[in-house]
Amino acid sequence: MSTLPVIAAFDGSDDSLRALDWALDAARRRRAPLRVVHVRQYAAWAPAGVPVPVPPLAAEDPVLDQARLHVTERAVSADVEYVATEGAPGAALPELGAEAQLLVLGSRGRGGFASLLLGSTGLSTARDADCPVVVVPRPGREGEGSPAAPPGPRVVVGLDVDSADDAVLGFAFAEAAARGARLQVVAAYPWPVHLWAEAPGGLAPPGIDQNAVEHEVRVLAGGLMEPHRARHPEVRAEPSVAPGDAAGRLVDAARGAELTVVGRHRRRLLAPARMIGSVTHAVLLHAASPVAVVPPAPPER
């Protein structure tokens, strides 16, 4: 059985060059082939009754030639395939997830608005692909006041103890193991908790002890992490439990990390469309590290 490739989306932009470097390293760590894909856009509209011409694929693609030169200059010993295809990147790239173990792209490609931190292609790919998607950000998001962290490589993962997805933790533990990195598991909980009461003003002070809430979250996080610790005993995984906004906690933790791992919402009966979730969206927009968006594990029958 052949190994699924790591796919790097490439359009010749500086963002896609950074993504290609990240994908080369990921393919090496996974001992997987790398497939560099250039999606050549064609006009998405035309006057009524006029067919949209789709140009034939040329034997030589100057954008892929740029990718070949970039890989050659790095003297990387890897199994690399170069593929050109036609279509709209926002629709074509998510479809490639069905034949990849990982899909890597830059935060914004050619043709996007310079002010956007995350282009529509990155957002739609992270939302719709069947495999994990890594979005490599532009430099300069580090900001000030990075939290003190022990030296050495670090992977960050967000954990919602109320609706945890095993696929997200599994991906994060595997990445930390492959990188020889420490794993920081961020489990944030909302505080203060507001309770409605039938009283003047509507809100009553919470009769909940914050220490008890934090202890409960820590115990739940430890239980969810335990099976993955058993599979990867070499990974030093530490739960980071704190009150506040989960997105803000993850963005803070991402500074100096090699990778930040988040999940996306599972489809529900009343919400059948794929949704990326507000926390994941915020992390994609603001995290200084590359961000891996992991699709939910298939539901058990």
Q: In the prediction, which pLDDT does 234 show?
A: 96
Q: In the prediction, which pLDDT does 47 show?
A: 53
Same domain, 39 and 118: yes
Same domain, 161 and 132: no
Domain boundary among 92, 108, 136: 136
The answer to whether position 299 is within a domain reads no
Structural tokens at position 217: 């979250």
Q: In the prediction, which pLDDT does 2 show?
A: 74
Identify the domain containing residue 115 by its residue range. 6-136
Same domain, 99 and 211: no
Can you give the CATH number for the domain in which 182 is found? Answer: 3.40.50.12370
Question: Which run of H or of E encompasses 80?
Answer: strand 80-86
Same domain, 160 and 285: yes
Q: In the prediction, which pLDDT does 267 show?
A: 52
201 torsion bin: left (phi>0), alpha (psi -120 to 50), beta (else): left
Q: In the prediction, which pLDDT does 116 show?
A: 44
Same domain, 230 and 106: no
Q: In the prediction, which pLDDT does 270 show?
A: 47
Same domain, 122 and 27: yes
Q: Whole-prediction pTM value?
A: 0.84
Same domain, 278 and 162: yes
The answer to whether position 67 is within a domain reads yes
> Mean pLDDT per 10-residue run, the chain (301 residues)?
89 94 95 94 53 51 93 84 90 92 84 53 90 91 57 92 90 96 93 58 62 91 96 95 92 94 71 72 93 84 44
Domain boundary among 77, 110, 136: 136
Same domain, 159 and 285: yes
User: Going by C-beta distance under 8 Å and a sequence separation of 6 or more, which residues neighbour residue 290?
Assistant: 22, 134, 135, 136, 137, 258, 259, 260
The burial class, CB within 10 Å (0-12 / 13-18 / 19+), for 233 is exposed
Q: What is the rounded CA–CA span in Å between residue 52 and residue 45?
A: 7
Partners of 186 in the β-ladder: 158, 240
Q: In the prediction, which pLDDT does 105 show?
A: 94
Same domain, 124 and 202: no
Domain boundary among 101, 136, 171: 136
Q: What is the rounded CA–CA span in Å between residue 294 and residue 296?
A: 6
Same domain, 79 and 196: no
The answer to whether position 143 is within a domain reads no
